[in-house]
Amino acid sequence: MPSYELSLVLRQLPRPDLISVIKRTSEAIFNKGGIIRKLENLGARPLPHKVSEHGVVHKEGTYFSIFFDSAPTKIMDLKEEFGRDIDIIRRNIYKVEESAEYKCTLHDEMLPPAYRKDVQEIIDIAKRKHKPKYNYNSGLDYYPFQK
């Protein structure tokens, strides 16, 4: 199952109601066959602009981020279900890409530029593209007339 991140903006609620909204959201993920990996509370803060959702204008919200695994066919169902919840102001689900493994090249990068492999490749490319200077028995190393 692919990994997803659900970013939520909830309306300002007292703590018990906030917990019930998070429980409803997590139960919806569980009911669709998902597995929650991590839940982050990013805190309450003012919204960047006034947001009108479900007929109410909101100026402040509580931000949450939920990382979960789920089948791709269930994502649209989750978006629809979260859209009907009146306590959720904004909801976005993003697919989390697997990060590639990087090999440490510090030893190579500490070498002087002339000895680095990537710099030598650039020099070779530049030598291949080198054009000969103009020399049609004129004694000039450029073409005096425009082409």
Mean pLDDT of 33-59: 92
* Residue 36 CB neighbours (<10 A): 15
Q: How does residue 113 score in pLDDT terms, banded at 50, 70 and 90?
A: confident
Q: What is the pTM of this model?
A: 0.66
Helix axes 15-31, 75-84, angle to 10 degrees: 150
Q: Tokens in use for 141?
A: 């190393």
Q: CA-to-CA distance for 124 and 128, rounded, in angstroms?
A: 6
pLDDT at 137: 63
Cα angle at 48 between 47 and 53, to 5 degrees?
55
pLDDT at 100: 81
Mean pLDDT of 64-76: 94
Q: Tokens in use for 7?
A: 């970013």
